Structure 1
Amino acid sequence: MESSPPPPAKKPKMSSASGSDEDPESAAAAAPRRRPKRRKVAIFIAYCGAGYQGMQKNPGAKTIEGDLEEALFLAGAVPEPDRGNPRRYDWARAARTDKGVSAAGQVVSGRFYIDPPGLIDRLNAHLAAPIRAFGFARVTSSFNAKKFCDRRRYIYLLPVFALDRTAHPDREAVLASLGSDNELAKCSECSLRGRKLPGLPLQDPPSDPRSDKAFQFGDEERSRFNRILGGYVGTHNFHNFTTRTKAEDPAARRFIVSFAAGPVVRIKDTEFIRCEVVGQSFMLHQIRKMIGLAVAVMRNLAAESVMQTALRKFSFLWVSKREFFWGRDVNINVPTAPEVGLYLDECFFTSYNQKWKDSHEAVAMEGYVEQAEAFKEQFIFPHIADMEEKEGAVALWLHSLNLRNYPDLG
């Protein structure tokens, strides 16, 4: 009986280590590339608020956040499935700036692809010039730029003439003064913007018509202004310094660390007072309203007691010398200073940095001070000066600062 032929021998498999005629470069190209891991980082940015509807993204509006999100995608930091969906990469901002408000030390955080190196250069390549990224810091997985920010420092550049109560008087005051010994004249700049009054010559009145001495922000004025600003320091109920917030809302209670008027700085042809405020957090329009009421007090439109009243939660109704009960909410219409002079100067993460100092780099602006100052000089300061010189942002606002528009100040 014939035996069946043996089965054909199997071809030995080629070992990857053995020699082969296959092109190693082709094999490497065919191998799947490993996607780098996402890393939680805090990114330091600056921007000029001109032409933007604020920091926070808003459908149909041009915002800083909207431009940033798109630039992060184009820079390769965000994958296609997460494009336009910041929640998927833990997006957070340290502060929410209003329309037209700038920032020199804003911080945002999220989980991004930071490899290969060069994320900041790629990001800036896809951002408009008024928005710049300075750098980033690796942070803990639980880091959140909003929740971990201890304090925020804002600067308001207020034109010196805003504190001169004889400059830029309102229309009614000018008309009422005609023919009197204290006749007030309006400025020619505001006249050219539709505020020309019949029978009044075009002239600029930077000085008190009852004195030959021009207004100056000297030691006496500085001392008074700082006393007024100091009234905001501490924990108060700021429901009158924002919108749509009730007196009983816990969110109305805010802590102000410091508020003071610094040196006078000249930008182009205008002198500004550098007003610096530091607080844990701020509500919508809060800083602009604090500045607005302080200017009203300095111009003698309102007594300093009005500011104390505006910071109360309720009014007191006295029954006897020893008894009182809560009355109605204190509601005062507080003037809002223009947004153009305000910018976010720096965000502080003191508690976080102290806790993680041994394992993570600090989230701080120390390494980007020169870049931030250069950005202010190039974008923020010229914008503030131009808005005053060409548009008269504060000058025109002063015309509306009267008891007819704000009867609660009287």
Structure 2
Amino acid sequence: MVNKPSLQILPLLGRHLWRRYCALDAKKSMHVAESVSRQPTLTLNNRKKKVALLVGYNGQGYNSFQIKPGNRSIEDQLLMALQKGGFASEEECQNSESVFLHCGAKTGKDISAVKQTVSLLLSTDNNVEERLNSHLPPEIRVLGIRPLAAEIDSALIRDPDFCTYGYILPTFALSPFGLESKSFRASPQLIDRFREILGLFEGTKNLHNFLLRSKFENPDSERSIKKFECLEPFELGNQQYVECQVTSKIFKKDQIRLMVNNF
């Protein structure tokens, strides 16, 4: 806002020039007020620190975790929740690097994550978890939040070449033909045999038989599997389950399911 001249110089300006001066001053004041009103209002303070969010989500209907122009992504939803909750401005949310948002693993189309680590700069005020969840769709939940040292980042601790995938199935899927039943319990010998078979996939091999519409001569049929293991069975709802974990480069959709189901 421009300072008005003192009344002593009014005669020097002349009445018509004084009116023009006041009109110009009022116009500038209005412009400043409009500019201030357009600034994003943050409901939390600006004391931001590096934190880790533990996020779980159902990826059905999402193209991936990472933002891809023209596609729906988990990262898009997180950034919108940050803006709606007053944790970041609209300008910051247009570029995830502005809030240093990085995920600990990559996921593809329709892929879900029970626990995904996301690091970012965030306000240290209370009720952050509840406020973010109130602005997220029900299929995406923030499960926890922990402070991080400034030098730690999810993108840095992520293996650039390998990811670990989990696949849970009921053990009756491993039962001999004709004995399929929810009351089935896998013996230690059967689990050991299953582990031996999964171990055969380890290494760099052509896995075209476990890819839809893929041929042996297709270079994309080769996969490098670092580890393929079966964890100990566990009980859930009067039924026995087992989790398979495979550490490898990114798979195509349904490839792990085809590999396990052909046991």
Q: Report TM bin, short chain.
A: 0.5 to 0.7
What SS does the corresponding residue of 1:135 show, helix, strand or coil? strand
RMSD: 3.8
Q: How does 1:72-83 map to 2 (within 5 A)?
A: 72-83=82-93
What SS does the corresponding residue of 2:156 show, helix, strand or coil? coil
**Residue equivalent to 1:90:** 100
**Residue equivalent to 1:131:** 140
CA deviation digits over 1:102-153, x for unaligned, max 9? Answer: 22221111223x1433322211111122222133233233432132136865
- 1:120 maps onto 2:112 in alignment: no
CA deviation digits over 1:247-274, x for unaligned, max 9? Answer: 7x9xx64532x61143154558xx5632
**Residue equivalent to 2:10:** none
Once residues 127 and 158 of structure 1 are traced to their aligned partners in structure 2, the CA distance between those partners, rounded to angstroms, is 29
The equivalent position to 2:261 in structure 1, one of 258, 282, 295, is 295
CA deviation digits over 1:78-115, x for unaligned, max 9? Answer: 22212232122222111122333322221111223x14
- TM-score if structure 1 supplies the norm length? 0.43
The equivalent position to 1:99 in structure 2, one of 91, 106, 109, is 109
Once residues 264 and 37 of structure 1 are traced to their aligned partners in structure 2, the CA distance between those partners, rounded to angstroms, is 44
- Contact 1:222–1:261, Cα closer than 8 Å, also in 2: no
Structure 1: gaps of 5 or more residues? 1-32, 167-205, 209-213, 299-410
- Contact 2:201–2:225, Cα closer than 8 Å, also in 1: no
- Contact 2:49–2:124, Cα closer than 8 Å, also in 1: no
- Once the two structures are overlaid, the 10-residue window that deviates more, 126-135 or 142-151, is 142-151
The equivalent position to 1:63 in structure 2, one of 55, 73, 76, is 73
- TM-score if structure 2 supplies the norm length? 0.63
Once residues 234 and 84 of structure 2 are traced to their aligned partners in structure 1, the CA distance between those partners, rounded to angstroms, is 42
- Contact 2:170–2:242, Cα closer than 8 Å, also in 1: no
Whichever residue aligns with residue 119 of structure 2, its letter is S
Once residues 136 and 145 of structure 1 are traced to their aligned partners in structure 2, the CA distance between those partners, rounded to angstroms, is 14
Whichever residue aligns with residue 55 of structure 1, its letter is F
- 1:145 maps onto 2:112 in alignment: no
Once residues 216 and 117 of structure 1 are traced to their aligned partners in structure 2, the CA distance between those partners, rounded to angstroms, is 46
Q: How does 1:248-259 map to 2 (within 5 A)?
A: 253=224, 255-256=226-227, 259=229
Query: What is the percentage of aligned positions where both structures have the same residue?
Result: 25
**Residue equivalent to 2:166:** 155
What SS does the corresponding residue of 1:88 show, helix, strand or coil? helix
- Contact 1:261–1:273, Cα closer than 8 Å, also in 2: no
CA deviation digits over 1:203-252, x for unaligned, max 9? Answer: xxx449xxxxx97633443221111123345xx226647899947x9xx6
- 1:225 maps onto 2:194 in alignment: yes
Q: How does 1:315-326 map to 2 (within 5 A)?
A: none
Q: Relative contact order: is structure 1 or structure 2 higher (C-alpha 8 Å, sep ≥ 6)?
A: 1
The equivalent position to 1:276 in structure 2, one of 240, 244, 255, is 244
Deviating above 4 A after TM superposition, structure 1's stretches of 4 or more consecutive aligned residues are 150-153, 241-247
The change in CA–CA distance for 1:74 and 1:159 in structure 2 (over 3 A counts) is same
